[in-house]
Amino acid sequence: MNAAAKICHASHRLVDACENTWQRLQARASWGWVAVCTFVWLVATTWAYPLLLPDEGRYVGVAWHMLMSGDYLTPRLDGMPFFHKPPLFYWLTAGALAVFGDNAWAGRLVSVLSATVLVTVFYLFLRRYARLSVASRAVLILAVQPFLFGGAHYANLDMLVAALISLTVMAGADAVFRHEQQRSDRMAVLGMYALAAAGFLAKGLIGVVLPGGVLFFWLLGRRRYRAMGRLLWWPGIALFLALVLPWMVAMQVRYPGFFDYYIVYQHFQRFLETGFNNPHPFWFYVPVILALTLPWSIQLWRWLYLHGPLHTSFVPPVRRPEQVDRRVLRGLMLSWLAVVLVFFSIPSSKLVGYVIAVLPPLAWFIQETFEQRKEETAPNVRRSLVRHALIAAGICLLAVAALLAVPQRSSKPLAQVLAQSAAPGDQLVMFNQYAYDLPMYAGWRAPIVAVTNWDDPDVMRGDDWRRELADAALFMPDHGADVLWLPSRLQDFLCQPAHPATWLMAWLDEADRLPALAGRAPVAQSRGMGLWRVTAQDAVSGCGETPSSAPE
């Protein structure tokens, strides 16, 4: 038997084994099995590579600072209030770091748990209102796909927000179905508002606007106007306000400009501005979603064919009292997918993770193609499902292997040198950059000096680390003056005869632009970044001369 035949034989055996495993899991189908299998699958490789810059380092770094300072009310960046995002992710991640230590695995745990809860609740929702087989197929498609896997492996707000938006939609739909079936719906409505409040504390108004829009257009299409009124229940609204207002009021009291910056600017003006990073055309998300959900997305052509104008949509019969008409669920999923996709396509700035909330309804539509084939007694449908899952899992693991083979930018190697060699009282300076992950990896609690041309008008027109620190300094101008330096101030500081040992972090290709670093070898370097140590005993170039400016 040649090598190709051996590989083919081994792949068939793998498919057979996975198919048998899938059958056994379906026989045991319960939400507990779904939760455990999803969590193990997602969490198994999150420790394998360090936090990625800038996003992972930023959000985990803010949470780490909360834990170290003991101030859990105010998110801070370099000791200054950081109000770009609400605090829920930071609170949860600080708890994970407190329990599991300062590492990437703990930093990504909130994203993993968010994805696990999303998959599990989606399973429970479909098991109640559709079929057990539908729920099993849909959650397999949802859990084993590159997009969700990547979101769960990335420590930022996207996975948490997507999960909370999705849970709010399902809680609202559950309340509507309960009301229509003449069952008690009060707890479902209260749950919807509690989840909406959590979404608000995770990402702001989109935690309310998006699930509200999904439910509104779904009910509008069904002409269920009374159900709309039922969801606007005053005890639920009171619960929502009771959960979201205390933190906002506390921040407004501490920092009088908070409301204008956080609500007016971050939620309205920023949404429509065009000067931010990552500008893309309106249609950007369509190819992105199709590519990141391969190989499952290939099945969507079959859904369009089966549900096109020349074909009758497959509608299985309702078999249990709790089940609802398939067309009603299909309408919910369509509204869910369309509202999220259109909403995030409007702004010029687009990030891939924004649309993770479309994945549950997309999994539903892909599942329908397998269900249709099964009802038509098409052969090997289950085997086809398993093959797709194996290919998707392979893509996910290849992505992890690529990150290991080609390490991304991280300050962890430099932070380890700093943690071993720095002494109390040493000063840390970052020139023309800000490595968000360094404080956690180095255990550095003291303020960090950031050096660049802060008087450049482009600082406040940009959307990078400079703008974030400059915005934070607006709420603590005195502290901002202490840590945001011009290059000339750094040169004066290093020329003082009694300055403490100073650690400077800079890009290797920019080091010669600082007179103090010209011709000096770094103590350590990694991925284009260098770390230098300058003491009062060292001869510092440029003292008594006109200092050079930082590069544009």
Query: Are 528 and 427 in a shared domain?
Result: yes
CB 124 within 8 A of CB 353: no
Query: Are 433 and 384 in a shared domain?
Result: no
CB 428 within 8 A of CB 448: yes
* Nearest-angstrom CA–CA distance, 262 and 142: 34
Residue 5 in any domain: the answer is: no
Query: Considering only CA atoms, which of 181, 329, 336, 204 is closest in space to residue 270?
Result: 204
Pairwise pLDDT comparison (147 vs 458), residue with the higher score: 147
Helix then strand then coil, in percent of the chain rounded to 5, is 65, 5, 30
For the record, the structure tokens of 55 come out as: 């996003």
Residue 473 in any domain: the answer is: yes
Q: Is the peptide bond before 54 cis (omega within 30 degrees of 0)?
A: yes
* Nearest-angstrom CA–CA distance, 184 and 154: 38
Q: Which domain holds residue 445?
A: 412-534
Residue 6 in any domain: the answer is: no
* Nearest-angstrom CA–CA distance, 415 and 437: 9
Confidence category of residue 281, pLDDT binned at 50, 70, 90:
confident
Query: Are 371 and 222 in a shared domain?
Result: yes
Q: Which helix (H) or strand (E) holds 94?
A: helix 88-100
* Nearest-angstrom CA–CA distance, 470 and 450: 11
For the chain, what is the mean pLDDT?
Answer: 85
What is the pTM assigned to this prediction? 0.89
Average pLDDT over residues 85-103: 94
Query: Are 397 and 434 in a shared domain?
Result: no
Query: Are 379 and 420 in a shared domain?
Result: no
Query: Are 317 and 458 in a shared domain?
Result: no
Last residue of a domain, one of 405, 430, 453: 405
Report pLDDT digits (tens) over 223-251: 999 889 889 999 999 999 999 999 999 99
* Nearest-angstrom CA–CA distance, 384 and 366: 13
Query: Are 55 and 91 in a shared domain?
Result: yes
Last residue of a domain, one of 341, 370, 405: 405
Residue 26 in any domain: the answer is: no
Q: Is the pLDDT of residue 377 over 80?
A: no
Residue 27 in any domain: the answer is: no
Pairwise pLDDT comparison (363 vs 497), residue with the higher score: 363
Query: Are 135 and 188 in a shared domain?
Result: yes
Query: Are 251 and 373 in a shared domain?
Result: yes
Report pLDDT digits (tens) over 408-448: 888 899 999 999 999 888 999 999 999 999 999 999 998 99
Residue 25 in any domain: the answer is: no
Last residue of a domain, one of 356, 375, 405: 405
Query: Are 87 and 109 in a shared domain?
Result: yes
Pairwise pLDDT comparison (24 vs 199), residue with the higher score: 199
Residue 362 in any domain: the answer is: yes
Q: Which residues, listed in sequence order, are joined to residue 427 by a DSSP beta bridge?
A: 502
* Nearest-angstrom CA–CA distance, 348 and 332: 27
Query: Are 292 and 429 in a shared domain?
Result: no
Q: Please give the pLDDT value at position 469.
A: 93
Rounded to the nearest 10 degrees, how much is the dihedral formed by the CA atoms of 289, 165, 347, 269? -160
Residue 7 in any domain: the answer is: no
Query: Considering only CA atoms, which of 421, 422, 440, 439 is closest in space to residue 430?
Result: 439
CB 396 within 8 A of CB 292: no
- Domain total for the chain? 2
Report pLDDT digits (tens) over 291-335: 999 999 888 887 676 665 444 455 666 666 677 788 899 999 999
Query: Are 298 and 419 in a shared domain?
Result: no
